[in-house]
Amino acid sequence: MRRAGFLVFDSVTMLDVSGPAEVFSRARGYELVMLSPSGADAATGTGTGLTITGALPVTREVAATLDTVIIPGSDTLPERPWDPDLLDAAAVLADGPGRVARVRTGAFILAELGLLDGRRATTHWRNARDSGFGSGESLRRAFDRHLQTTPSESGIRPWNPLLGTTH
């Protein structure tokens, strides 16, 4: 059974979690693992509470069990300063043995960690001009063996090619 871990945090965009989670939950052979920096519930960007039954805190031991890590976005990510616990959790997850994917502005977390250095990446079109990732017209899908970014959409369709790389 493959394990897909989702990093949730305060101000996360709910669709950035629920869209990919719906896809992975319907794929054969995947178990979903919800993670937060401390293992606590999170409040979404709309203020809706996101209760995570059985959420795990991010640890190196947990990261080592994941095949795929999803870093969702938030409308607050282009702003700084960022929560150091969030950055630490993302760094631990990205250092695990599996592949790392991000949704929309989750690219800002990966960029802050230096994981996008020298790579082509995408972010939400609204944030592209301020991100250093390029204009909306030049945003492209970037795949390699470890780090994967999808188009800047957060719904269901963009995640199907990612699943195709594991079957």
Q: What is the pLDDT along the chain (167 residues), one digit of tens a residue?
A: 999 999 999 999 999 999 999 999 998 899 999 999 998 888 888 887 777 767 789 999 999 999 999 999 998 887 767 899 999 999 999 998 789 988 888 888 888 888 888 777 666 666 655 555 543 333 333 334 344 444 444 455 555 555 555 54
With 0-12 CB in 10 A as exposed, 13-18 as middle and 19+ as buried, what is 118?
exposed
Task: Please name the residue that has the structure tokens 């939950």.
Answer: 25
In one-letter notation, the amino acid at residue 96 is G
CB 157 within 8 A of CB 103: no
Q: What's residue 157's pLDDT?
A: 54
Measured in whole angstroms, how far is the alpha carbon of residue 160 from the centre of its chain? Answer: 15
Helix and strand counts by DSSP (H, E) for the chain: 6, 9
Q: Give the angle 127-19-83 at the CA atoms, nearest 5°.
A: 50
Q: What's residue 47's pLDDT?
A: 81
Q: Give the angle 166-27-51 at the CA atoms, nearest 5°.
A: 115
Q: What's residue 167's pLDDT?
A: 47
How far apart are the two ends of the chain, measured CA to CA in Å? 12
CB 32 within 8 A of CB 23: no
Q: What's residue 61's pLDDT?
A: 95
The pairing of strands 147-149 and 142-143 is antiparallel
Q: Which domains does the chain have, with CATH numbers?
A: 2-160 (3.40.50.880)
Q: What's residue 134's pLDDT?
A: 44
